[in-house]
């Protein structure tokens, strides 16, 4: 609802429109991630022309390859967010593989030491790895199809195959949250964080389920941690932070009735990313609350330019029509 501020009220027609609004989920970030690193041999010397294979392991299987330079360095850009298997190999020196998670707008660093001691996995390990990969992919497919019971079964099996599969527990948390089984979702997200303490997405998951249960203090704490792990966040208020985590914090503050604080959060998001459409929409709502109807109309028009078919486009159009009268 629209609140009174400085003795002013928004127009009654705008109030009627705003009262029916539901907050939308955070918009997906319009960016990509990258992987970089260094390959050395067991004597600490850089390995030139080592083959680097970067394999996406969520959903559709994709592989990209690159090579190290004379300094043993490599960089691969344009990667979507998610889990990857990254392998470095050079004939006569050895090979090594690591699991890594790429995050939007950030550089994931993976360094290798190639040695004859990096023995290839045996047949049993290969079979178990293949089963885990298929199980995880089946779980992702079920989750995307909205079949959360099947997704839960698959990710639980994945966690049995690998007790350190943080992504299995993260996806379990998401599936449970969609079924509104918040206790199980919380336990799964926390397990993912136990395995991988810097798992920012899992903290975001916690923030979402706490917010859904109106546990606003816990939601704010989890969202703040997610923003910190994103490389900056609300406290820093600068570019390079995790804008989605910052946006989530604004939503949490708004739902808690802390409208001025929420407004500052949406402004911080837009300072970091001026094209974050949902933040323009929410800032417009905050300006309506203040009685700044001209400013609100500008924000809603910007939202419609950035996201003409977005989840709040119909409401934004109606609000602009009312505010322009």
pLDDT digits (tens, 9 = 90+) for 143-158: 999 999 999 999 999 9
pLDDT above 90 as % of the chain: 50
Contact between 58 and 82 under an 8 Å Cβ cutoff? The reply is: yes
Alpha carbon of 264 to those of 46, 155, 260: distances in Å?
48, 39, 6
- Give the largest Cα separation in the chain, rounded: 78
Domain 33-120: CATH class, spelled out: mainly beta
Q: Please report the pLDDT score of residue 52 as a whole number.
A: 97
Contact between 277 and 27 under an 8 Å Cβ cutoff? The reply is: yes
CB atoms within 10 A of CB 113: 17
As a dihedral over the C-alpha atoms of residue 159, residue 165, residue 167, residue 173, rounded to 10 degrees, the angle is 40
Q: How far apart are CA 290 and CA 295, in angstroms?
A: 10
Q: Please report the pLDDT score of residue 122 as a whole number.
A: 65
H/E stretch holding 112 reads strand 112-114
Q: Does residue 308 register a pLDDT over 80?
A: yes
Q: Please report the pLDDT score of residue 62 as a whole number.
A: 84
Computed from CA positions of residues 296, 298, 299, 304, in that sequence, does the dihedral angle turn out positive or negative? positive
Higher pLDDT, 121 or 52: 52
The reply to whether the predicted model has a pTM over 0.75 is no
Q: Please report the pLDDT score of residue 169 as a whole number.
A: 96
Domain 12-30+126-323: CATH class, spelled out: mainly alpha
Binned at pLDDT 50, 70 and 90, residue 230 comes out as low
Q: Does residue 10 register a pLDDT over 80?
A: no
Contact between 169 and 189 under an 8 Å Cβ cutoff? The reply is: yes
Alpha carbon of 137 to those of 1, 159, 250: distances in Å?
42, 13, 33
Higher pLDDT, 18 or 126: 126
Q: How far apart are CA 235 and CA 221, in angstroms?
A: 12
**Mean of pLDDT over the chain:** 83
Order of strands across the sheet that contains 51-56: 62-67, 51-56, 82-90, 94-102
Q: How far apart are CA 277 and CA 254, in angstroms?
A: 17
* pLDDT tens-place string over residues 87-120: 999 988 888 999 999 988 788 999 999 986 655 6
Q: Please report the pLDDT score of residue 246 as a whole number.
A: 78
pLDDT above 70 as % of the chain: 84
Number of continuous H segments (helices) and E segments (strands) in the chain: 12, 8
Computed from CA positions of residues 232, 237, 240, 241, in that sequence, does the dihedral angle turn out positive or negative? positive
Domain definitions of the chain by residue range: 12-30+126-323, 33-120
Higher pLDDT, 123 or 144: 144
Binned at pLDDT 50, 70 and 90, residue 17 comes out as very low
Take residue 224 and report the two structure tokens written for it. 């703040």
Take residue 79 and report the two structure tokens written for it. 């990667």
Q: Does residue 234 register a pLDDT over 70?
A: no
State the DSSP code for 288.
H
Q: How far apart are CA 125 and CA 119, in angstroms?
A: 12
């Amino acid at each position: 609802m629209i609140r009174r501020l400085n003795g002013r009220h928004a127009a009654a027609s705008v109030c009627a429109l705003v009262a029916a609004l539901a907050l939308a989920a955070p918009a997906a970030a319009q960016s990509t991630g990258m992987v970089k690193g260094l390959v050395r041999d067991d004597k600490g010397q850089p390995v030139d022309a080592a083959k680097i294979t970067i394999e996406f392991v969520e959903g559709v299987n994709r592989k990209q390859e690159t090579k190290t330079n004379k300094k043993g360095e490599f960089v691969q850009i344009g990667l979507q967010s998610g889990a990857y298997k990254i392998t470095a190999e050079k004939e006569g020196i050895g090979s090594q593989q690591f699991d890594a998670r790429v995050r939007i707008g950030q550089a994931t660093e993976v360094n290798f030491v190639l040695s004859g001691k990096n023995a290839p996995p045996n047949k049993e390990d290969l079979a178990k790895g293949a089963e885990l990969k298929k199980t995880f992919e089946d779980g992702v497919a079920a989750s995307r199809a909205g079949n959360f019971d099947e997704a839960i079964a698959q990710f639980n099996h994945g966690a049995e195959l690998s007790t350190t599969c943080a992504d299995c527990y993260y996806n379990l948390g998401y599936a449970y949250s969609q079924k509104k089984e918040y206790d199980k979702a919380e336990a799964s997200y926390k397990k993912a964080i136990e395995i991988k303490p810097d798992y920012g997405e899992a903290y975001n998951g916690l923030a979402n389920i706490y917010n859904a249960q109106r546990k606003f203090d816990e939601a704010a704490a989890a969202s703040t941690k997610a923003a910190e792990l994103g490389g900056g966040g609300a406290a820093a208020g600068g570019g390079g932070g995790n804008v989605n985590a910052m946006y989530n914090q604004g939503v949490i503050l708004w739902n808690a009735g802390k409208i001025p604080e929420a407004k500052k959060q949406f402004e911080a998001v837009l300072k970091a990313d001026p094209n974050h459409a949902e933040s323009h929409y929410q800032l417009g709502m905050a300006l309506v609350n203040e009685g700044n109807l001209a400013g609100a109309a500008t924000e809603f028009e910007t939202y419609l330019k950035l996201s003409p078919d977005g989840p709040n486009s119909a409401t934004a159009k109606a609000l602009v029509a009312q505010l322009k009268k």
